[in-house]
């Protein structure tokens, strides 16, 4: 539960200069909504983009320890990189970079300028092999943290069915020892990653990959660190697997949890996929294999993760209110209920994790909504699994032992 010795951090976000991102993302909005969400630390995102990097340098004030402040709110320098290259066959991976300082970020950007352009998107694409990339980052600074992003998504997750890799070792080769953590992504949670033997000595962190500042995106996944005010301490906690835990969404909520075809309107469980020999019964083409199937394929019976962090499976509060009132998350009615709860109970994570049933009832919160908040806290909101780019859908029925 939240307390004064913890800091909830979302270190994988994007700026308005990334494709398919809100054009209203700025530091003022990020800080405003991070506080409402209950976050205490953000990544800047997109430090490779020249215009956003200029804003980082102009608007944030360094504390000398790798934290950069907008007013009273801390950031660390972060960004996401896309590597697409051929090595025997097509390879593709997304990586999150945590960077110790503006000065190191400038050196990284100078390196990227020798490889291609970085002004067209906040998440630039480079034709650099994974092992070479990590080696070059370590040559710039041993304090740079390279984290494989959303590791199970089919197209750009290192374990994804279409990424070209089956393991960290295959991707990073002799540099795999410099990979200290992986990011779960919205389509997986720690328990799924505990099935992978190769991850036994890796930290499992979680961030949102938010494309807007709204609280149903920002911080929907987060990592709970021991409270600190330095980049090096955040990195130490990651590298020594010494942080407190993570906030996860139900993996079924992710866009690629089950197998299927969006255009065919068809999805199914891994068991059904095997019956179908991975072929869509509608169009007769190969199914897009989701995370659940892929985890089963790469899991090991002898995996033994000794350091298992606690994690909370939560849907955003907007999603819960939407379920109760029966209208879309961004409707006026949902916002009215959300704002009244925030006014009464300070921030969203406090409501999702801490506020008692009795205190909610005392504040005249609808009994049905109180029940849903409690079910959400215990991970018992049923979610119809997402597939092939379609988000999962929260449903009123309580989650059963298995979804189907």
List, for residues 161-189, the tens digit of each pLDDT value. 899 999 999 999 999 999 999 999 998 99
Q: Residue 373 and residue 51: Cα distance in Å, rounded?
A: 41
Q: So what's the pLDDT on residue 396?
A: 76
Percent of the chain with pLDDT over 70: 97
Same domain, 31 and 106: yes
Same domain, 220 and 329: no
- Return the structure tokens found at 77: 């320098």
How many domains is the chain partitioned into structurally?
A: 2
pTM for the whole thing?
0.95
Q: So what's the pLDDT on residue 399?
A: 53
Same domain, 170 and 53: yes
Q: Residue 92 and residue 96: Cα distance in Å, rounded?
A: 14
Q: Residue 341 and residue 336: Cα distance in Å, rounded?
A: 9
For position 136, which CATH number holds?
3.20.20.140
Same domain, 373 and 237: no
Same domain, 120 and 35: yes
Same domain, 63 and 151: yes
Q: So what's the pLDDT on residue 2?
A: 55
Same domain, 246 and 323: no
Backbone region of residue 384 per phi and psi (left: phi > 0; alpha: psi in -120 to 50; beta: other values): beta
- The stretch 308-323 carries a mean pLDDT of 96
For the cut 90, the answer to whether the pLDDT of residue 3 exceeds it is no
pLDDT tier at 304, thresholds 50, 70, 90: confident
Do 6 and 225 contact (CB within 8 A), yes or no? yes
Instruction: List, in order, residues 6 or more apart from 220 with CB less than 8 Å away.
Output: 186, 208, 210, 247, 249, 316
**Is 284 part of any domain?**
no
Backbone angles phi, psi at 382, to 5 degrees: -70, 135
Same domain, 182 and 327: no
Q: Residue 329 and residue 343: Cα distance in Å, rounded?
A: 19
**Is 384 part of any domain?**
no
Query: Whose structure tokens read 């697997």?
Result: 241
Q: So what's the pLDDT on residue 404?
A: 25
Q: Which domain holds residue 141?
A: 6-252
**Is 311 part of any domain?**
no
- The stretch 340-347 carries a mean pLDDT of 97
Q: 93: which strand partners? A: 83
pLDDT tier at 306, thresholds 50, 70, 90: confident
Top pLDDT among 40 and 306 is at 40
**Is 312 part of any domain?**
no
- The stretch 76-103 carries a mean pLDDT of 97
> What's the pLDDT tens digit per position in 210-238?
999 999 999 999 999 999 999 999 999 99
Which of 184, 188, 159 lies closest to 258, judged by CA?
188
Q: Residue 209 and residue 10: Cα distance in Å, rounded?
A: 8
pLDDT tier at 401, thresholds 50, 70, 90: very low
- The stretch 27-45 carries a mean pLDDT of 98
């Amino acid at each position: 539960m939240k307390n004064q010795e913890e800091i909830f951090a979302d270190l994988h976000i994007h700026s308005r200069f990334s494709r398919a991102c809100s054009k209203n993302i700025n530091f003022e909005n990020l800080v405003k909504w991070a506080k409402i969400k209950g976050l205490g630390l953000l990544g800047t995102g997109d430090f490779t983009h020249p215009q956003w990097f200029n804003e980082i340098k102009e608007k944030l004030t360094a504390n000398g320890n790798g934290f950069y402040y907008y007013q009273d709110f801390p950031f660390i320098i972060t960004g996401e990189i896309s590597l697409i290259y051929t090595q025997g066959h097509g390879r593709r991976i997304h990586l999150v970079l945590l960077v110790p300082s503006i000065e190191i970020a400038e050196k990284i950007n100078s390196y990227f300028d020798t490889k291609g352009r970085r002004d067209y998107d906040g998440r630039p694409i480079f034709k650099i092999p994974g092992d070479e990339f990590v080696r070059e980052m370590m040559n710039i600074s041993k304090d740079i943290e390279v984290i494989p992003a959303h590791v199970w998504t089919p197209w750009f997750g290192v374990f994804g069915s279409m990424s070209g890799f089956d393991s960290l070792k295959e991707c990073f080769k002799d540099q795999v020892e410099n990979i200290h953590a992986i990011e779960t992504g919205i389509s997986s949670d720690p328990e799924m990653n505990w099935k992978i033997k190769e991850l036994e000595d890796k930290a499992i962190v979680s961030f949102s990959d938010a494309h807007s500042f709204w609280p149903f995106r920002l911080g929907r996944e987060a990592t709970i660190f021991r409270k600190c005010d330095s980049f090096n301490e955040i990195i130490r906690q990651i590298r020594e697997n010494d942080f407190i835990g993570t906030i996860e969404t139900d993996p079924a909520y992710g866009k690629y949890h089950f197998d299927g075809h969006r255009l065919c309107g068809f999805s199914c469980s891994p068991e059904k996929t095997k019956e179908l020999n991975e072929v869509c019964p509608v169009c007769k083409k190969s199914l897009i294999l989701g995370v659940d199937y892929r985890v089963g394929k790469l899991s090991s019976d002898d995996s033994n993760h000794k350091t298992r962090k606690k994690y909370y499976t939560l849907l955003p509060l907007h999603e819960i209110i939407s379920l109760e009132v029966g209208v879309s998350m961004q409707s006026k009615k949902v916002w009215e209920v959300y704002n009244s709860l925030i006014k009464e109970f300070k921030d969203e994570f406090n409501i999702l994790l801490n506020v008692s049933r009795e205190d909610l009832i005392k504040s005249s919160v609808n009994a049905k909504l109180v029940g849903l908040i409690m079910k959400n806290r215990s991970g018992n909101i049923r979610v119809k699994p997402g597939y092939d780019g379609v988000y999962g859908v929260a449903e009123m029925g309580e989650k059963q032992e298995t979804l189907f």
